Amino acid sequence: MLSLSIAPSLAGAFSSFERHGESGDVKPMRAFVAGYRRSFRRAALVGVAVALVVVVVVVDAYAVAGTAVGPLLFPLLGVLLLLALATAANLLVGITSYPGARLAALAKASIFLTVRRWYLSLATLALLGLLVVAFSRRPLLGAAVAPGFLLFVIWNNNKYLFKSAIEKAEHPA
């Protein structure tokens, strides 16, 4: 149940980064709380969707573990899991960066951008992995120092995905 609050918290952090980038002199805690409140419903939907995908993938992996098709399906299930995590991070940045956009449109764009710019999505996944390792190996370092830096890089990476797609749509070659 606690894991369902991760997505709105990430949206609050990304919103804080967004506000700081716009005005530069924002108090981070106030911006976080405002972003958390503003994007809670949409981010919670993303969190629930990702949690459901993770549960389905894990249950499917467990179901096919002892069968003959298990080794064939494990890579597919792993890719689906990674795609869901990278798309969720991208979608949370989209929610905070473009609050007026519809969630369905942002979800489509996030899936497309996650697959199209796969190398940036891999960087996002690597940074999320570093965040998990920092929390599990050194809890104090993982809770105090690493999240701010790593989440800022994740936000900036995914913000670039959206910005480059919008610029490309506005100025086609």
Q: What is the pLDDT of residues 16-36, one digit of tens each?
A: 998 887 777 668 888 889 999
pTM of the model: 0.89
Cβ atoms of 154 and 128 within 8 Å: the answer is yes
Buried b (16+ CB within 10 A) or exposed e, 88-120: bbbbbbbbbbeeeeeeeebbebbbebbeebeeb
DSSP for 43-66, written as a single string: HHHHHHHHHHHHHHHHHHHHHTTT
Both ends of the chain: CA-CA distance in Å? 47
Backbone region of residue 101 per phi and psi (left: phi > 0; alpha: psi in -120 to 50; beta: other values)? beta
Q: Which residue has the tokens 């956009």?
A: 101
Contacts of 71 (CB under 8 A, 6+ apart): none
pLDDT of amino acid 96: 93
Give the single-character DSSP code of 167.
H
Distant-in-sequence, close-in-space partners of 1: CB < 8 Å, separation ≥ 6: none
Q: Which residue ranges of the chain lie beneath pLDDT 70?
A: 1-3, 25-26, 173
Q: What is the pLDDT of residue 25?
A: 62
Q: Is there a contact between 70 and 64 (Cβ–Cβ < 8 Å)?
A: yes
